[in-house]
Amino acid sequence: MLSFVPRKFTRRTYVFVFFIVTVLFSTLFLSFYPEKEYKIGIIVSSTKNNHATIELIKFFVKKRIDEFNKKGGINGRPVKEVYMDDFEDSSLTIRHVEKILRDEYLVGILGCWNSTRAKEIVDLIGTSGVPFIGDFSINTFFSNYGNIYSMDKGVSDELAIFDKFLNDRAIRNVAFIGRLGDLYTIKYYNYIKDSLASDRGIAYEKWLLKSEEIDESALENIISDVEKSRTDIIFLSLGARNGILIESLHKNNIRIPVYSILGTIGKLLSSVGYEFDFDWYDTAVEGIPNVESQRLEELIARYRSDISSIDSSRYLAGYGGRYADGVGMILDAAKSAASQEIRGIREHVIESLRSYISSRRFYKGWSRYWAFTENRTSSEDILLVWKPANYDGFILYPEQYARKAGGYVRKPVIYLNVDMIRITGVNNSEKSFSAEFYLNIKSEDPGIDKSYIEFTNAYRGKDSNEPLINIRAIDEDTGINDNSKGKLQSNYLYKVSGKFDFYPDLRLYPFDEQKFSISFQPRNAAHDFLIQPPKEELRDTDFSTDEWVVNTHYVGMDQDIIRSTKGYVSEEMITPFYKFNYTWVMERSKVDYFIKTVIPLLTILTITYLSVYIRKKNFEATVTIQVTALLASIALYFSVYKPTTDYATLSDEIFLFTYFSITLMMAMSIFKSIRYVEDFSRLMFVANLLQRYAFPAFVLSMVAYVFSVKYFSV
């Protein structure tokens, strides 16, 4: 019996049907049994005013997770973010959390920036054992759950600093206007009520619902009652509506100081203006006014082109970085878990978060260093800010306190300014520059002078290892009453000249930008301090530079993490140590490079190009010109200045391109002289095409490359 052999058409049909069945089966299998993805839930609250905040959170979190997945994810499996937008509706927050807690691959949850809504979900998450890093202040209602932490400063720590403020101001009677039902506001209200002595108290209080309108009649009654109460200070906790009362106080010529509890001073000042003649206080949300986080600056610079389309400030970018850091804390811990079971992974994440308590360890995030207090809230310093009457900005309040040994110690504030005179002698190979500037130091603490400050990037002599800096006192004037609170006990003016280190990145030389910094920190950890620079408009950027142009300027802050041990060698202890810098971002002047390098190279390339139009019988002249052009470009490379680096600079790439281009022209000239090529018209056509059209196109492409690297690189 003959075996059945299908015809060619039938074989193709069978193969095609088999392929279709395989694809359908694979699709159905993946739909019923998808690849396991670990999840991380992120709670956000969209409003009509915070679109940029949400966009930046999503952008930075995605970047963080994409980077994590490229490195293998968790046990070789990817991680996916799941956003839970509650639109400021507590019932929606609860539904989102209940749903995601049923996901067997959920690694952790992040977010929820309102204490009132957070209270509704802490029991759900706390009993589940899922790691949760929240973004709310009230820590008391999650104290029984070891799996819950917060990226925000704890209200217990805030109130400890707030108590120092009440005592410093010797406040007796207060007015309190707050949002009804807001737990954060109620916490402050109860603390104020309990803290004031029997002969002091809340002289006037008013509670308003979040949705309650404040019409003209209600506003007049509030202002009238506040004025009659003869209060020492007004505490406002209405969020964005604080601005309505601030404007009304100014309009009615009431000069009672104001303290914002719910609602930040920075956002309100941008809407209500600065011209009112009473002091205004707040707890800092954005760190030290007019000081940028060094790590945040680097993060923004890395993704500047990606986030340029989002209408945002550094603060909002920092908020996105904050959520990326929260995701990073959870994922980095999950990756190092020994167990592959989700329960074991979650337990390892919680154990890792516990190690960040009390400065035993710090998490090095994209936007800042992270650690937690014993209350499992952020360990960052709680700073009081102050808008003096009629001052168009806000600054650090002169009384600041830092957490130390379970308590709080006073930390001086130095109102410091660097007025640059000149930056000269930039040496790329030595990585140094010379600077001359005036240094003004002011403080309400006595005896705060140059002895408190150490210049951390001072260049040191090779023999003595001493800083090559000269500091000369110009003026000393203490006891000047130039603020509304009290007298400045320290006021010194110095002229400083010296040599400083810098760390150039010369990959784009000579089209590069470099950062020139004057960096300093407390000379002694026992004499720690904070600095307050003047606002940016008052900082001079018009000074003398050699072959450099100032682009931008900022005052930055970073931390040194100092490792030590408690007792003899019993336990590791990590101490953060602030350091500050005045930084000028300057662009190298390119006139000298164009005259000495670019124009000669263009001339050499032009002559090389024109040589191909010499008649064929003068072949020797053509090649001689091209060889001379190559040798001239090599000689030019060794005659012009070039920094010493371990990598190729953009200038090196320009010269390498020139060598290659001229060599290509020489090769084509020699190729055309071969008898076989002369008799083959198509080969001659290709050679002429390369020399006459491809060569100039190649030169133009190099010019385009230089511009793209300069203006579009990150």
> Omega before 446 cis (within 30°)?
no
| Token duo for residue 679 | 């008799």
What CA–CA distance (Å, rounded) separates 166 from 405? 23
Q: Is residue 263 part of a domain?
A: yes
Q: Which of 432, 433, 395 is closest to 417 using CA atoms?
A: 395
What CA–CA distance (Å, rounded) separates 382 from 100? 33
Q: Please check whether residues 570 and 476 belong to one and the same domain.
A: yes
Q: Please check whether residues 256 and 310 belong to one and the same domain.
A: no
Rounded to 5°, angle at Cα 560 from 554 and 564:
170
Query: Which helix (H) or strand (E) is 175 found in, with range?
Result: strand 173-179
Q: Please check whether residues 582 and 595 belong to one and the same domain.
A: no
Q: Is residue 173 part of a domain?
A: yes
What CA–CA distance (Å, rounded) separates 363 from 543? 39
What CA–CA distance (Å, rounded) separates 515 from 433? 11
Three-state SS for 380-402 is: CCCCEEEECCCCCCCEECCCEEE
CATH number at residue 530: 2.70.170.10
What CA–CA distance (Å, rounded) separates 577 from 223? 45
CB atoms within 10 A of CB 577: 13
Q: Which of 111, 489, 537 is closest to 327 using CA atoms?
A: 111
CB atoms within 10 A of CB 396: 22
Q: Is residue 217 part of a domain?
A: yes
pLDDT at 33: 44
Q: Which of 204, 210, 208 is closest to 192 using CA atoms?
A: 204
Q: State the DSSP code for 398.
A: S
| Token duo for residue 461 | 């002599």
Structural domain of residue 2, as residue ranges?
1-34
Q: Is residue 397 part of a domain?
A: no
Which of 254, 283, 312 corresponds to the end of one domain? 283
Strand, helix or coil at 616? helix
What CA–CA distance (Å, rounded) separates 37 from 34? 9
Which of 283, 314, 336 corresponds to the end of one domain? 283
Q: State the DSSP code for 429.
A: T
DSSP characters for 111-164? E---HHHHHTTHHHHHHHT--EEE--S--GGGTT-TTEEESSBPHHHHHHHHHH
What CA–CA distance (Å, rounded) separates 383 from 400? 6
Q: Please check whether residues 440 and 564 belong to one and the same domain.
A: yes
Strand, helix or coil at 356? coil
| Token duo for residue 293 | 């986080």
Give the type of residue at 473.
A
Q: Is residue 228 part of a domain?
A: yes
Q: Is residue 685 part of a domain?
A: yes
Q: Is residue 425 part of a domain?
A: yes
Q: Please check whether residues 14 and 79 belong to one and the same domain.
A: no
Per-residue model confidence as pLDDT tens digits over 50-99: 888 999 999 999 999 999 999 999 989 999 999 999 999 999 999 999 99
Count how many residues are written for the chain.
714
Per-residue model confidence as pLDDT tens digits over 139-189: 989 999 999 999 999 999 999 999 888 888 888 889 999 999 999 999 999
What CA–CA distance (Å, rounded) separates 73 from 546? 49
Q: Please check whether residues 248 and 363 belong to one and the same domain.
A: no
Query: Which helix (H) or strand (E) is 299 found in, with range?
Result: helix 294-302
Q: Which of 145, 114, 144, 116 is closest to 131 using CA atoms?
A: 145
Q: Please check whether residues 600 and 655 belong to one and the same domain.
A: yes
| Token duo for residue 372 | 């937690």
Q: Is 258 exposed, middle or buried (0-12, 13-18, 19+ CB in 10 A)?
A: buried
Q: How many CA atoms lie within 13 A of 130 on its CB side?
A: 26
| Token duo for residue 490 | 């320290």
What CA–CA distance (Å, rounded) separates 507 from 424? 22
Q: Please check whether residues 566 and 454 belong to one and the same domain.
A: yes
CATH number at residue 182: 3.40.50.2300
> Phi, psi at residue 695, to the nearest 5°?
-60, -55
Q: Is residue 523 part of a domain?
A: yes
Per-residue model confidence as pLDDT tens digits over 187-210: 999 999 888 766 568 899 999 998
| Token duo for residue 615 | 């008649």
Which residues of the chain carry a pLDDT beneath 50? 1-2, 4-5, 30, 33-34, 481, 483-485, 714
Name residue, tokens 């007792």: 567
Q: Please check whether residues 554 and 428 belong to one and the same domain.
A: yes
Q: Please check whether residues 237 and 306 belong to one and the same domain.
A: no
What CA–CA distance (Å, rounded) separates 362 from 685? 67
pLDDT at 197: 67
Query: Which helix (H) or strand (E) is 552 found in, with range?
Result: strand 548-566
Q: Angle formed by the axes of helices 650-673 and 619-639, to 10°?
A: 170
Residue 234's DSSP bridge partners are 175, 258
CATH number at residue 650: 1.20.58.390
pTM above 0.85, yes or no: no
Q: Please check whether residues 667 and 699 belong to one and the same domain.
A: yes
CB 498 within 8 A of CB 435: yes
CB 698 within 8 A of CB 662: no
Q: Write the CA distances from 454 to 394, 411, 451, 578, 598, integer angstroms.
A: 27, 17, 8, 12, 43
Q: Write the CA distances from 638 to 430, 595, 632, 704, integer angstroms.
A: 20, 16, 10, 25
Q: Please check whether residues 357 and 256 belong to one and the same domain.
A: no
Which of 561, 588, 615 corresponds to the end of one domain? 588
What CA–CA distance (Å, rounded) separates 576 from 361? 11
> Phi, psi at residue 604, to the nearest 5°?
-60, -45
Query: Which helix (H) or strand (E) is 14 found in, with range?
Result: helix 8-32
pLDDT at 375: 92
**Bridge pairing between strands 548-566 and 292-293:** parallel
Q: Which residues contact 141 (CB under 8 A, 6 or more apart)?
A: 118, 119, 122
Q: Angle formed by the axes of helices 342-354 and 314-335, to 10°?
A: 120
Query: How many domains does the chain fold into?
Result: 5
**Bridge pairing between strands 490-501 and 469-476:** antiparallel
Q: Is 11 exposed, middle or buried (0-12, 13-18, 19+ CB in 10 A)?
A: exposed
